[in-house]
Chain A
């Protein structure tokens, strides 16, 4: 019996990986500029196997310096947001928890705004202090929520409420700073919309280590999350320390969120919906939900970013695309799974 279940899990994971691979390859072959997928394929062939590439130096730069890092970054950001969402939902046993709830987004937004307002001249979006500030702000927001929640008492709902209070306060600080300097409001808004328009290898290099560390920690903790899902008393009776586990996995998930936010701005929806879809399709065990959220989040954001890049002559904000495409899909999954259950 456990053997069948293991095999089933392996099959589901394998399917996820295949979907992700297809999404990645498709996204590299087709992009905003019309290079022709056959020519890009020939370029990939020439680079990997050897031979002549049909692409000019500028076209090759488009593929290798813009498109490939952007596709990878979409995957990394999507994986980070989805796995963080799954973790937050598990830790708080609250299906509505997501990476942005505990002040991560508000903290990042506030820090980014302060940098833009206080040091407008040095804010080159691409290489400037904005991502770093967002990163620090996201961690600070979650940390503050945790401190406030801990001092207020135990229990997951206390922490969530603390997160709401902290997020409101940080958002107020951000709005106040914006009002003091309306000239720079635009930059902040662009960032708040989220997107990967300005991204390259540098951003990939910024995000990869943090997301990788968080992903390893969370995958290793998946079994503990399963125990935690039974309840704190049950976990304690098995010799685990629920408080400590929560702290570790929350730190890992916040780290992944902060890394994602710092390179992509605010992209909603992924963190809350992908884990739910995974759960509906593959069951609630975290040993499946965590890795599948990583894979599914990556595939989802790669596809969403592909739409953002190619659907219109201009770019669409990625946050708009994720909600636009994700919400109906989610509703459909929800509906068909309910029908199957009843």
Chain B
């Protein structure tokens, strides 16, 4: 039974992840502007109406947790799930975002719960105790991520911050992309999600970010949307495609590095390995649609600039 759901679960886990790093944004004082009730929805999720500003928020999504703190809604957050490990001051608990337990969540007396998916009817269960549930699904595009920043801002009474965070992130990313010198010839890349060569095509959130730099994704087959955009490649295909850049989003989870990649059979023949263009990323920053996406974009920009030089 679980075998059938394994790829799905795997995908979910790719999109969540875990992290540690100093906070980037200073907490803004909580403002009271924004007249409640408000109705908010993330792209692809049902709308939720909040009658008043939530004061006790439980976040079960690492990306949402990062966004809430970046917005200045941190003081309103009373609990975050076990995978939400950034920022450091977030109130970490053993709550599970993968398999959320309404009773365990209720123990924190939340007035708003943020999750990234609700396949188990969590929203209905929490509605019985008068708690609203906001679903913030996996962002499919950068615009989805910006929309989530705005939705979370609006839902928590930080509408202005939400809008400025979205604008700021968009501007930062656009600037980094614009400032990066385009390589003379188109570069290709392989994005590694785990050491069994699960990858991401250009149709995914991360693929779209990399496409902005004019890179081509070796995971794109005839249909980039095939396999949900996260196909498992064979080593043969990767070697034959000979990517100019290899991005490792499995450095923390699975101990992968430029050295381990170079030691794989046949991989020493790759351009990326020979030119030292294997980039180990922070798995968490590389898998969340949070404001820290800017850091990832900078890392990619550096790699592209170096490879194109």
* Contacts from A to B (Cβ < 8 Å): 31-35, 57-59, 61-62, 65-67, 69, 120-128, 182-187, 189-190, 192-193, 195, 197-198, 200-202, 309, 312-315, 317, 319
Number of B interface residues at 8 Å Cβ cutoff, please give it.
48
> Are A195 and B196 in contact, with the CB atoms below 8 A?
yes
CA distance A315 to B219 in the complex (A): 11
CA distance A124 to B268 in the complex (A): 18
A198 to chain B: which residues have CB within 8 Å?
Answer: 195-197, 235
> Are A190 and B239 in contact, with the CB atoms below 8 A?
no
> Are A66 and B265 in contact, with the CB atoms below 8 A?
yes
Given A61-B266, A185-B9, answer yes or no on A33-B194 (Cβ-Cβ < 8 Å).
no
> Are A187 and B236 in contact, with the CB atoms below 8 A?
no
A201 to chain B: which residues have CB within 8 Å?
Answer: 265
User: A69 to chain B: closest CB distance in Å?
Assistant: 7
B240 close to A (CB within 8 Å): yes
B26 close to A (CB within 8 Å): no
> Are A58 and B232 in contact, with the CB atoms below 8 A?
no
CA distance A65 to B227 in the complex (A): 27
CA distance A202 to B266 in the complex (A): 13
> Are B239 and A61 in contact, with the CB atoms below 8 A?
yes
> Are A185 and B266 in contact, with the CB atoms below 8 A?
no
Given A189-B10, A312-B226, answer yes or no on A33-B255 (Cβ-Cβ < 8 Å).
no
Q: Which of B255-284 contact A (CB under 8 A)?
A: 255-256, 260, 263-266, 268-270
CA distance A314 to B240 in the complex (A): 14
A-B contact pairs, 25 of them (CB 8 A): A33-B237, A33-B239, A35-B240, A58-B269, A61-B239, A61-B265, A65-B265, A124-B195, A126-B260, A126-B264, A182-B98, A183-B13, A183-B253, A184-B253, A186-B194, A189-B6, A192-B3, A197-B234, A197-B235, A198-B195, A200-B265, A313-B222, A313-B226, A314-B221, A315-B233
A315 to chain B: which residues have CB within 8 Å?
Answer: 197, 231-234
Interface centre among B2, B3, B235, B252 (most CB of A within 10 A): B235
B265 to chain A: which residues have CB within 8 Å?
Answer: 61, 65-66, 69, 200-202
B168 close to A (CB within 8 Å): no
* Contacts from B to A (Cβ < 8 Å): 2-3, 6, 9-10, 13-14, 17-18, 82-83, 96, 98-99, 194-198, 219, 221-223, 226-227, 231-237, 239-240, 242, 252-256, 260, 263-266, 268-270
> Are A190 and B253 in contact, with the CB atoms below 8 A?
no
CA distance A67 to B266 in the complex (A): 11
CB-nearest residue of chain A to B267: A61
B96 to chain A: which residues have CB within 8 Å?
Answer: 182
CB-nearest residue of chain A to B252: A121
> Are A186 and B195 in contact, with the CB atoms below 8 A?
no
CA distance A186 to B287 in the complex (A): 14
> Are A314 and B232 in contact, with the CB atoms below 8 A?
yes
User: A200 to chain B: closest CB distance in Å?
Assistant: 4
> Are A313 and B223 in contact, with the CB atoms below 8 A?
yes
CB-nearest residue of chain B to A119: B255
Out of B2, B14, B240, B269, which one reaches A34, CB within 8 Å?
A: B240
> Are A124 and B260 in contact, with the CB atoms below 8 A?
yes
User: A72 to chain B: closest CB distance in Å?
Assistant: 13
Given A120-B253, A197-B197, answer yes or no on A313-B269 (Cβ-Cβ < 8 Å).
no
User: B239 to chain A: closest CB distance in Å?
Assistant: 5
CB-nearest residue of chain A to B269: A58
User: A249 to chain B: closest CB distance in Å?
Assistant: 30
Given A120-B253, A319-B3, answer yes or no on A189-B9 (Cβ-Cβ < 8 Å).
yes
> Are A313 and B231 in contact, with the CB atoms below 8 A?
yes
User: B289 to chain A: closest CB distance in Å?
Assistant: 18
> Are A187 and B253 in contact, with the CB atoms below 8 A?
yes
CA distance A127 to B260 in the complex (A): 9
> Are A314 and B231 in contact, with the CB atoms below 8 A?
yes
CA distance A200 to B195 in the complex (A): 14
> Are B83 and A183 in contact, with the CB atoms below 8 A?
yes
Interface centre among A35, A121, A125, A202 (most CB of B within 10 A): A125
B198 to chain A: which residues have CB within 8 Å?
Answer: 190
Out of A33, A57, A120, which one reaches B269, CB within 8 Å?
A: A57
B236 to chain A: which residues have CB within 8 Å?
Answer: 31-33, 62, 66-67, 309
Given A125-B195, A182-B83, answer yes or no on A187-B269 (Cβ-Cβ < 8 Å).
no
CA distance A197 to B193 in the complex (A): 14
A126 to chain B: which residues have CB within 8 Å?
Answer: 195, 260, 264
User: A338 to chain B: closest CB distance in Å?
Assistant: 30
Out of B227, B232, B254, which one reaches A197, CB within 8 Å?
A: B232
> Are A182 and B82 in contact, with the CB atoms below 8 A?
yes
> Are A186 and B83 in contact, with the CB atoms below 8 A?
no
CB-nearest residue of chain A to B283: A183
User: A318 to chain B: closest CB distance in Å?
Assistant: 11
User: B115 to chain A: closest CB distance in Å?
Assistant: 15
A125 to chain B: which residues have CB within 8 Å?
Answer: 194-196, 254
User: B235 to chain A: closest CB distance in Å?
Assistant: 5
CA distance A58 to B265 in the complex (A): 11
CA distance A173 to B67 in the complex (A): 36
CA distance A163 to B254 in the complex (A): 33
User: B78 to chain A: closest CB distance in Å?
Assistant: 21
CA distance A4 to B63 in the complex (A): 72
CB-nearest residue of chain A to B237: A32
Given contacts A183-B17, A200-B265, 16 further A-B contacts (CB under 8 A): A31-B236, A33-B237, A58-B269, A67-B236, A120-B254, A124-B254, A182-B83, A183-B253, A190-B194, A192-B3, A193-B6, A198-B235, A201-B265, A313-B226, A314-B233, A315-B231
> Are A122 and B226 in contact, with the CB atoms below 8 A?
no
CA distance A313 to B96 in the complex (A): 34
> Are B196 and A313 in contact, with the CB atoms below 8 A?
no
Interface centre among B223, B226, B264 (most CB of A within 10 A): B264
User: A50 to chain B: closest CB distance in Å?
Assistant: 23
